[in-house]
Amino acid sequence: MLLERATALAAKIAKYQELANAADQAEQFQTRANQFGGVAERVTRARQALGQLVEAGVPVDFVPTEGAGYAAKAKELRAAINNNPAAINDPPFDLKYDFVDRLNAIVAKANQVMIDAWKVYVVKRADFGSDDVLSALAAVPQFRKNVAKIREYRSDIATLGNSMPSDPQVAVARLDSLVAAHNAAWADLSAEDIPGNVISFIRAAANEGAQLTTYTDSVRTWFESRNLLSAFRIRLR
């Protein structure tokens, strides 16, 4: 009877040890799963975001450093695990420092490149020139309403370019709309009692730049009489 009890107790201890070992392995597997799952999700999101920017027409120049090498490491690790799941706890390289941390660094770099690319894209699309002309026109009562509207469009465009959009195509469409509204506001720039050649000169100067030949004596006299000459600069091309 005592021998049977001892045998049963030994079996229970062995079973407990087996379960404990299994639980420990399961915990280790779960830790690795969480580790890989997080970085995999971040890589996937970055890849999708890059594709969305390109599809929206935003130029992005990003090539992961040693990307092919890390892809090879992933294949090597997958092959090792398929052959023996326990290999996850004895990998062929340092999982944290040589793999996961490197992938996280690539994702961080990709996110920064995308933000910079978006900001550059917006700035180029909204290259409206110096605000000096607007500031000068704001001093003319007839132009204040138009200037306020133009400044509002510029502010909205600047806000749009300050952060990475969740949907680049929607953001580009919004940018198209704001730029068109801004340009329309300049095209509508007019005021009573202001000569037409002055209006034309102001519109051109604030956009692509006015030709020097359009800077006639009458235009100069009008600006000079209102202390607005300092708002304009001659550019050599």
What counts of helices (H) and strands (E) characterise the chain?
A: 9, 0
Q: Cα separation of 154 and 148, whole Å?
A: 10
Lowest pLDDT segment from 15-19, 51-55, 146-150, 177-181: 15-19
**Percentage of the chain exceeding pLDDT 70:** 62
- For the question of whether the overall pTM of this predicted structure is more than 0.75, the answer is no
Instruction: Supply the pLDDT for residue 60.
Output: 92
Query: Is residue 160 a contact partner of residue 174, using CB atoms and an 8 Å limit?
Result: yes
pLDDT value, residue 13: 41
Instruction: Please tell me the distance from the alpha carbon of residue 89 to that of residue 30, in angstroms, as a whole number.
Output: 11
pLDDT band (50, 70, 90) for residue 90 = low
Per-residue pLDDT, averaged over 88-100, amounts to 69
b/e burial code for range 47-84 (CB count within 10 A of at least 16 → b)? eebbebbeebebebebebeeeeebeebeeebeebeeee
Rounded Cα gap, residues 205 and 192, in angstroms: 20
Report the C-alpha gap between 218 and 53 in whole angstroms.
48
**pLDDT average, residue stretch 114-122:** 95
Contact 123, 112 (CB under 8 A): no
Please compute the mean of the pLDDT values over residues 68-72 and round it to a whole number: 66
Alpha carbon distance 218, 195 (integer Å):
9
Average pLDDT over the chain, rounded to whole? 75
pLDDT of residue 233: 64
Q: What is the pLDDT, as a whole number, of residue 88?
A: 64
Between 191 and 6, the more confident residue is 191
pLDDT band at 164 (very low <50, low <70, confident <90, very high): very high
Average pLDDT (8-26) is: 44
Residue 35 Cα distances to 62, 67, 131, 168, 230, angstroms:
25, 19, 50, 29, 61
Q: Of how many residues is the chain composed?
A: 237
What per-residue confidence (pLDDT) applies to 159? 94
Q: Which band of pLDDT confidence, cut at 50, 70 and 90, is reported for residue 165?
A: very high
Residue 20: predicted pLDDT: 42
Confidence of residue 52 (pLDDT cuts 50, 70, 90): very high
Residue 139 in this model has a pLDDT that exceeds 70: yes
DSSP 194: S
Residue 188 clears pLDDT 60, i.e. is over it:
yes
Range with the lowest mean pLDDT among 34-48, 50-64, 219-233?
219-233
Structure confidence at residue 172 (pLDDT): 96
